[in-house]
Structure 1
């Protein structure tokens, strides 16, 4: 029987950022990975402090950005790579009213550090009303991040490529197969619906598609462009464009309507030919109040959940991994806005 401080189930942003907290604090652990591409692994990797529909920000945006940058530097120390890509978002304006709204909002205390007051005219794409730059926005090298962390965990024999079997947990003795554990953390995204301990948490699947395209005229700037969706350069001379949001079509195959929506959206501002080389989709675990769900099982004191990261998986996963670690190890209460306990009465 091998003793471990933690068993982590799930290999998306929640699981890996929590694993980083354990690495920092010299805790022993294993991560169970089914080897399927999670929603995290097909995500755009956008790091963005601004809601670009309404030009607003969100709860703890600055703290989350700062914490992510310092965490990625810590991760670089043991993987040897920095996965932070400094390619800011440029939001194409639809009309003059959006320009005026952007300038008005840029005076707000909570947005002054994020909305650049100087507009930019972009080459290659249609932007008759110019674009606004989001300061402190960037991207995560998603494929690099997962490859690098998986390789590191494998080298330490901390990655177990196997489907987790709930029936093998012995909650009385705190054992699972050949492990004796102090804590188990479930970070399964929509997979939580099959989890007998936390299947009732109110996560709602939100299906997102993106396409990878070959542009006949490459973009002249290394930036992320946003109109309806995000466009940015990726590996192999291709560009990522996406992603969609769909709470209705939840079957496990590609929706042609989503692909059409993306092709149409890109055609609206990219005036040259392009070809679609690849289509991907995933199911984001979202929550009505747009807050993660973090907490301890009401009966089994060493079973925990970390879920509901939604469309901001990178920022939420990174920032709240420390809140969860401090809750388990230091008994520091979770913020009521993210705590599992907020659903108790409901």
Structure 2
């Protein structure tokens, strides 16, 4: 029987960023990956400290941005690759009132570090009322990040490419098949609904679509454009456009209505011809109070959950992985705002 410090079940942002905490602290672990692309792996990879509907920020935004940059530098140290793309968001204004609101908030204490005071005119897209740049925003090279981390984990013997079988888990003896573990972490996204130990945590599926398109005319390539959705270049001469939010149509298939919504939204800002090359669907695990769910099982003291990252999976996954590690290893209490205990 093999002995490990941790078993990680789940291969999205929560699982990989927690694996990074284990790597940097020289902990032994096994990560279970089913091989299917999770919602994280088809996400846009947007790193954004601003809520772009109302021009507000959110809890611990600056701390999360700073910690992500630090963590990605650490990950670069062992994968050899930089996954941070310096492509700031440019928000297209709908009208003059949005310009005025942005200008007002750009000098507020809360947002002065995130909202540029100057407006820009972009070539190739319709932006009659100009755009505002979100300072400290960027993108993650999502494909590169997951390929790089999986390759590293596979080469180091950390990766098991198989589904986790709950029936094989003996929680009392801390055993799973031929593994003896100290702790086991479940970070399965919406897969948690099938987990007999944490199926009652209140995560809700939010279905998202995005499309990849071939544009007939060039647009700025070193930025991320946002109006209704995000538009930016990806590989093979294509552009990403998305994503939608849907809490009602929760089947696994593509919804034609969502694709039409994306086509309409893109046509509003890009008025040249484009061709849809691909459509992707994913389910974000969201929580009513928009905070992750982290903590220990009430009966089995070596079982933990890390879920509910929502649309800010990169920032939430990175920042709160450290909180969870410190809670398990050092007994440092979790912030009550993200603790699973808040739902007792």
Does 2:261 correspond to 1:261?
Answer: yes
Q: Name the residue aligned to 1:212.
A: 212
Counterparts of 1:220 and 1:287, CA distance in 2:
35
SS in 2 for 1:6: strand
CA distance in 1, matches of 2:190, 2:256: 22
The Cα offsets for residues 258-301 of structure 1, whole Å up to 9 and x where unpaired, read as 00000000000101000000000100000000000000000000
- The SS at the match of 2:236 is helix
1:98 paired to 2:98: yes
Task: Please report how far the alpha carbon of residue 182 of structure 1 lies from its aligned counterpart in structure 2 after TM superposition.
Answer: 0.2
Structure 1 distance, partners of 2:311, 2:88, is 18
Q: Determine the structure 2 residue equivalent to 1:235.
A: 235
- Matches of 2:222 and 2:210, distance apart in 1: 19
Counterparts of 2:193 and 2:221, CA distance in 1? 43
Cross-structure match for 1:273: 273
- Structure 2 unaligned blocks of 5 or more: none
What pairs up with 1:107-146 in 2 under 5 angstroms? Answer: 107-146=107-146
Counterpart CA distance in 2 for 1:61 and 1:239 is 27
1:62 and 2:69 matched = no
Q: Cα distance, 1:221 vs. partner?
A: 3.8
Gaps of 5+ in 1: none
Q: Could you say which residue in structure 1 is the equivalent of 2:245? A: 245
How far did residue 162 of structure 1 move? 0.5
The Cα shift of 1:193 comes to 0.1
Aligned counterparts, 1:1-346, within 5 A: 1-344=1-344
- Offset, 1:218: 1.9
Q: 1:235 is paired with a residue of what secondary structure?
A: coil
The alignment's TM-score, normalised by the length of structure 2, stands at 1.00
Q: CA separation in 1, counterparts of 2:172 and 2:243?
A: 44
Aligned residue pairs, count? 344
**Contact (CA 8 Å) 2:107, 2:117: kept in 1 or not?**
no
RMSD: 0.5
Contact 2:284 2:311 in 1 (8 A): yes
- Aligned partners of 2:307, 2:278: CA distance in 1, in Å? 28
Per-residue displacement from partner, 1:19-53 (whole Å, max 9, x unpaired)? 00000000000100000000000000000000000
Residue 220 of structure 1 and its aligned partner are, at CA, apart by: 3.1
Large movers: runs of 4+ above 3 Å: none
The separation in 2 between residues aligned to 1:126 and 1:228, in whole angstroms, is 13
Contact 2:86 2:222 in 1 (8 A): no
